[in-house]
Amino acid sequence: MSSATNAQPIEPTATEAIVTETAPPADESLASELQAPSLSRAYQCQCGRPVFLRNSRCLACSTPLGYIIERLGVMPLAPAEFVGAEPDTFTLFGDPNGRAYRRCANFLTPAACNWMVPVPRDGDAASFTTDGLVPGFCLSCSVTRTIPDLSIERNGQLWLSLELAKRRLLSQLLALHLPVVTRLTDPVHGLAFDFLGSMPGAGHVMTGHQTGVITLNAEEAEDAVRERIRAEMREPYRTLLGHFRHEIGHYYWDLLVEPTHWLEGFRQLFGDDREDYATALRNHYDNGPPPDWKDRFVTSYASSHPWEDWAETWAHYLHMADAADTALSFGVDARNVELSGDLFEMADLWQPDDPGAPQFLDFLNGWVRLTNVLNEMSRSMGQPDYYPFVLARAEVGKLQFVHMVITEQRERSGLPAMVGKPAEPVVVDGAATAPEPAAEPTPPAAQPAPLPQP
């Protein structure tokens, strides 16, 4: 596969570089290949302005905004006016008799959380509940178990970066109908995030997952630290969001693959998970990846053990899905792109006969075209590639496997496959559409760390 890459950028040949005179038919557009988003990333204020995932107030009209799980997006809010409404309670703008919400208790902390917490009333469905949430906190903050020590000033900023990445992760998991369960609901398999800093004299914090508990080294939220590690490890890509998506992949392997009918297919594609993990990792760090890893794995780390191959592939799928959803939500198209290069074929898939296979293949090839454009855009600014990967043909079957596991989960949850529709193309008009700072900076409270709850 030769999509654009940091290693070997594909230069268009003379014929490819010729701009087409006539637009290809609509059924070859990127939108038709990628299909409708599973998740809309384009949100609108009541005044019509586009607003973004981290916004808590419209910059144009000052309407309060908040992330509403039931709507899988950022919504305009109005102070609640129903009889008996408590102060600081909101309803959705234009729906004064609808469901009521409060701001998360982390709204004014350095976490600057803009997610809303349900305020159930008589007549609300039983599913509209605060069960499983830490009192006062939203779902995202309720799965944070340990935060960095806020008596150290810079930790406030690190915590914010971690929570922003986690909120983006969770908003996607919810849209894909993957279970997001707190430890209060399920003390054994529920999710908990520990953001730990390396203390002087203490051991190095290892990022990892164990039965629902995801530990992240909070130092990784420091750009200089993360970039140094990225360069030392010779990785083309290292982000907080990537860490979250990788670790949650281990969590869902425990839940959706290991105890299910998917295990056999997993072993076909990824290898035998019973291979000794500690030995495999030591071997990887001592001897490096196999020389042909690029033909078989999405990253060199994926070659260390089948579990890591799964987690890297899972993370990659989430990257692709979110980026494609975002592009389509904003009406981005690559209709005139002539950088198609080598596209994937049915024979590259694991299950070409699966009813969803043609659609998945279209998605992959739309992705190749989109990332060709985005990489050229990045290079035009002198930035590292937007998508510094080359998808090996052998990786395509694994991505389809992840897609099938998630699709089955979504269908089993009985919810519609698509949420929302792609928005009309947005005309970006200057400062009014710029992302708003997440919240007023608040002086970090002096708190001991680790905290047992957020």
Q: What residues line the site for Zn ion (CB under 5 A)?
A: 45, 47, 49, 58, 60-61, 63, 104, 106, 113, 115, 138, 141, 308, 311
C-alpha 340/C-alpha 65 separation (Å) is 40
Instruction: Give the nearer residue to Zn ion in terms of CB position, either 115 or 266.
Output: 115
Instruction: Count how many Cα atoms sit within 13 Å of the Cα of residue 121 in the half-sphere of its side chain.
Output: 15
Instruction: Give the nearer residue to Zn ion in terms of CB position, either 18 or 61.
Output: 61
C-alpha 410/C-alpha 178 separation (Å) is 7
CB of 418 to Zn ion, least distance (A): 27
CB of 218 to Zn ion, least distance (A): 18
CB of 225 to Zn ion, least distance (A): 19
Instruction: Give the nearer residue to Zn ion in terms of CB position, either 220 or 385.
Output: 220
The b-or-e profile of 350-384 (16+ CB within 10 A means b, else e) is beeeeeebeebbbbbbbbbbbbbbbbbebeeeeee
The string of DSSP letters for 185-254 reads T-TTT-BEEEEE---TTSPPPPPEEETTEEEEEGGGGSHHHHHHHHHHTT-S---HHHHHHHHHHHHHII
Give the contacts of 344 (CB within 8 A, at least 6 positions apart).
1, 361, 364, 365, 368, 391, 393, 396
CB of 227 to Zn ion, least distance (A): 20
CB of 75 to Zn ion, least distance (A): 12
CB of 7 to Zn ion, least distance (A): 23
Instruction: Give the nearer residue to Zn ion in terms of CB position, either 108 or 392.
Output: 108
Instruction: Give the nearer residue to Zn ion in terms of CB position, either 225 or 432.
Output: 432
Closest CA to 342 of 313, 378, 369: 369
Instruction: Give the nearer residue to Zn ion in terms of CB position, either 235 or 362.
Output: 235
Closest CA to 94 of 118, 69, 77: 77
Instruction: Give the nearer residue to Zn ion in terms of CB position, either 150 or 334.
Output: 150
* Integer CA distances (angstroms), 158 to 222, 223, 295, in order: 6, 9, 36
Token couple for 244:
């979250």
* Integer CA distances (angstroms), 391 to 65, 150, 227, in order: 38, 41, 23
* Integer CA distances (angstroms), 337 to 11, 247, 384, in order: 14, 35, 21
Instruction: Give the nearer residue to Zn ion in terms of CB position, either 142 or 378.
Output: 142
CB of 63 to Zn ion, least distance (A): 5
CB of 246 to Zn ion, least distance (A): 5
